[in-house]
Amino acid sequence: MSSSNESRQAKMIDELRVFIKKVLSEPTIAVKSMEIARKYRNEPNAKEIIAREISANTNIRIPENWSEADKMFLDIIHDVLDDEEALY
């Protein structure tokens, strides 16, 4: 593995660690994030809207230029919504 790839992965892991700490210290983040995602999931540019709303309504900050960790978080939200939909 190249050192630039290792550096990128290390950065993503650090970002995910910070995110997980926030979620565990404030359990309402997950609930609020999913409520926001459900509300906007079918909108055009849903991921951008969801990211903006999560940033505005929780202590999670998703910048306009998403990192790999931000993209992963938004993808996981959509996976959870897909799983919910499959249950019904």
Q: In this predicted model, what pLDDT tens digit does every residue of 53-85 receive, in sequence order?
A: 999 999 999 999 998 888 989 999 999 999 988
pLDDT band at 35 (very low <50, low <70, confident <90, very high): very high
Mean pLDDT for the chain overall:
90
Please indicate, yes or no, whether the overall pTM of this predicted structure exceeds 0.75.
Answer: yes
CA distance 68 to 37: 19
Tokens of 37: 């995602």
Q: At residue 46, does pLDDT exceed 80?
A: yes
